[in-house]
Amino acid sequence: MSRTTIVIPMLDEARALPELAEHIAVLDPQPAEVLCVDGGSDDDSVAIARAAQWRVITAGRGRGSQINAGVKAATGDLIVVLHADTHPPSNFIAVIEETLSDPTIALAGFTPIIAGHEKIRWGTTAHNWAKTWYAPLLCRPHLFARGVRLLFGDHAMFFRRQQFLESGGCDPAAVVMEEADLCIRLAQYGRVKLIRETVRTSDRRIVEWGPIKANWIYFKVGMLWALGARKRLADLYPDVR
Predicted confidence (pLDDT) per residue in 100-135, tens digit: 999 999 999 999 998 888 889 888 888 888 888 787
Query: DSSP letter string over 166-222?
Result: HHT-S-TT-SSSHHHHHHHHHGGGSEEEEEEEEEEEE-HHHHHH-HHHHHHHHHHHH
Average pLDDT of the segment spanning 197-222: 78
Of the candidates 86, 37, 35, the residue with the CA atom closest to the CA atom of residue 62: 37
Most confident of 52-56, 129-133, 137-141, 221-225: 52-56
Beta bridge partners of 7: 35, 81
Query: pLDDT by residue (tens digit) across 56-89?
Result: 999 988 888 999 999 999 999 999 999 999 999 9
* Contact assessment for residue 79 and residue 71, using Cβ atoms and an 8 Å cutoff: yes
Predicted TM-score (pTM) of the model is 0.89
How many whole angstroms separate alpha carbon 176 and alpha carbon 24? 25
Sequence length of the chain is 241
Of the candidates 1, 148, 124, 7, the residue with the CA atom closest to the CA atom of residue 69: 7
Which parts of the chain are beta strand (E)? 4-10, 33-38, 55-58, 78-81, 86-87, 105-115, 158-160, 191-202
